[in-house]
Structure 1
Amino acid sequence: MIDGGLIDVAPSQQGCLSKMAIAPGDAGGPVRYTLRAGEHRLDLNARLGKPLRLRWTGAIACTHCGRATRKSFAQGYCYPCFKTLAQCDTCIVKPETCHFDAGTCREPEWAERHCFQPHVVYLANSSGLKVGITRGTQVPTRWLDQGAIQALPILRVETRQQSGLVEMLFKEQVADRTNWRAMLKGEIEPLDLLAERDRLLSRLEGGLGQLRQRFGADTLRMLDEVLVSFDYPVLEFPRKIVSHNFDKQPEVAGTLLGLKGQYLILDTGVINLRKFTGYEVRVS
């Protein structure tokens, strides 16, 4: 059945999971979620308050090469791809360790397309104040994937390595991770991110100045952006976090109560679908 451009998943349809497609709501409405299982699409906002069942078939396919794999590495890759792809290198999660200039990058052409692109350093409120980095093209997707209720871009830099070095400075003052359990409980209070930005920039003025001297005055540019807020489609937040895991329990079922970050919130527990990218599931 086709409705608004989405192919609704019929009973017993199956496919390999991708991370949920998330988009800001229209006119300040709730964030929109779409489940992706192979070629099939399901409007999850329309399923709120209704039963949902996902059953893992036992099969996993690498999201890069498509080969079958007994175990998923780095959220969706087979072991050969995990060991050879630049996007699976540790410098992706620790950009300050970039080794492109040393000539040891696994895929220099891939790096030029992804790492040598403008990146944004931002503050967000997902489980409290945090700093983060993302490619400019991933705004606001990155914030939605993290379940942020507020976000504020503060700096634009020229490369991923530079964004990692800036983030290291901020990590001396503020967290860089989301407490997913706190995020899912829905008890996060709004913050004055503009005031937090000014406070942090004042404290880190010396370190940021040193980076400008190293890379050039124009490589770290201040941004004058407005604060962005998001409303997630949640009927009821869980009082106690119970986490589902396909590796331990192949069937996950319950009434869909909410969606936040890359999590489904069911009356039986929560599940991070991004963690199971490449897992083949039957959806009903």
Structure 2
Amino acid sequence: MKYAGVLRKMSTELGNPIQYYLDMESDFLVVNQLLNKKIEITFQKYQCLSCGEDKKIFRQGFCYDCFYKMPQAGDWIMRPELSQAHLEIEDRDLEFEKSMQLQPHVVYLANSSNVKVGVTRKAQIPTRWIDQGAHEAIEIVEVPNRYLAGITEVALKEHVSDKTNWRKMLTNEVKDLDLNMEKEKLAQFIPEEVQPYFKDLHSKEVELDFPVLQYPKKIKSLNLDKTQQYSGVLIGIKGQYLIFEDGIVFNVRNYEGYIVELKV
């Protein structure tokens, strides 16, 4: 079977294990059903997720020009402490920024390669944790806007990492931890204006089960710009990565805006 379309990040559904889906425009693939099967990936061309033109993708599925003008790629996306919609200050498109920033956000701890702090919209839980390949996660605070979440993350990352080691995550070099205990250690560092939003110390950890048949010992990332055709047997899906039998891993999200053909 052959499928073709522009890549977007896989959608997910919480389950045991997590279910992954890939929208290939005219086809909707249940990626879990491709486990233990040989898949061939062929890069065809680019298609910017904004302008739709065949222009080299710069970041987040956008070409260079669109990346620097689209509100979906503003600096506040990666640095939520820069959010200013609550002050009626526009970055690129105030109405869009209000719709995204002025809604409940959660600051959380996730364990994917190590304990890390992160921020996401409440509506994106547990999707955000799944995308990061976290096998366990817990909420720290729930606040009414992105700015408050951002300043909390800035304060906490002085004491805990805000990065995931993707290699450890994909080789499953991860230890189970008591996230409630880690959360209690960090409580004192939460900014004063955010303290009223602190979640109960004994809130429940969420455990996530990924569809991986076997974890590789060594991995190498597939770069579609350098290797435009690849085939291998799929043995796992974790985060937004496809894991292949030969140790090759493919980050679907990194290649949003690439038109590919998949042959199964």
Q: Settle same-fold status: TM greater than 0.5.
A: yes
Aligned-pair distance for 1:64?
Answer: 2.5
Question: Aligned equivalents of 2:123 and 2:50: distance in 1?
Answer: 21
The 5 Å alignment of 1:94-105 reads 94-100=79-85, 101=87, 103-105=89-91
The 1-side partners of 2:203 and 2:23 are apart by 32
Instruction: Tell me the equivalent position of 1:22.
Output: 12
The equivalent residue for 1:175 is 161
Partner amino acid for 1:222?
K
1:114 corresponds to 2:100: yes
Counterparts in 2 of 1:20-169, with a 5 A limit?
A: 20-25=10-15, 29-57=16-44, 59-69=45-55, 71-100=56-85, 101=87, 103-169=89-155
CA contact (8 A) 1:18 1:38 kept: no
Give SS of 1:222's match: coil
Which ranges of structure 1 fall in alignment gaps of 5 or more residues? 1-9
Say whether the 8 Å CA contact 1:37–1:281 is kept in structure 2: no
Distance 1:251 1:164 in 2: 40
Task: Kindly provide the amino acid, as one letter, of the partner of residue 84 in structure 1.
Answer: K
1:279 corresponds to which residue? Answer: 258
| Runs (5+) with no aligned partner, structure 2 | none
Once the two structures are TM-superposed, the CA of residue 99 in structure 1 deviates from its matched residue by 4.3
Taking the aligned partners of 2:50 and 2:124, their CA distance within structure 1 comes to 19
**Distance apart, 1:221 and its partner CA:** 4.3
Per the normalisation by structure 1, the TM-score is: 0.87
1:256 to 227, 234, 238: 234
TM (norm. structure 2) is 0.93
User: More displaced, 71-80 or 94-103?
Assistant: 94-103
- Which residue identity does 2:41 align to in structure 1? L
- Report if aligned partners of 1:127, 1:183 keep a CA contact under 8 Å in 2: yes
Matches within 5 A, 1:229-268: 229-268=207-246
The offset of 1:104, in angstroms, is 4.2
Counterpart residue type for residue 258 of structure 1: G
> 1:3 maps to what in 2?
none
User: Please, what is the CA RMSD of the aligned residues?
Assistant: 1.6
1:161, distance to aligned residue in structure 2 (A): 1.2
- Determine if the alignment matches structure 1 residue 184 to structure 2 residue 170: yes
Q: Distance in 2 between matches of 1:32 and 1:95?
A: 29
The alignment partner of 1:181 has SS state of: helix
**Cα distance in 2, alignment partners of residues 74 and 122 from structure 1:** 25
Supply the distance in 1 between the matched residues of 2:60 and 2:106 (Cα, whole angstroms): 23
1:89-142 Cα shifts (integer Å, max 9, x gaps): 222111112344483410000011001111001111011111111001000000
Distance 2:99 2:90 in 1: 16
In 2, Cα distance between equivalents of 1:187 and 1:221 = 30
Please give the alpha-carbon distance, in whole angstroms, between the structure 2 residues aligned to 1:50 and 1:90.
40
1-side partners of 2:53 and 2:58: how far apart?
A: 13
Aligned residue identity for 2:228: P
The residue type equivalent to 1:235 in the other structure is L
Give per-residue Cα distances to partners, 1:242-263, cap 9 Å, x unaligned: 1111000011210001000000
Would the aligned equivalents of 2:111 and 2:137 in 1 still touch at CA under 8 Å?
yes
How many angstroms apart in 2 are the aligned matches of 1:91 and 1:114? 10
1:165-214 Cα deviation digits (max 9, x unpaired): 0001110110011100000001211110011111111x31xx522x34xx
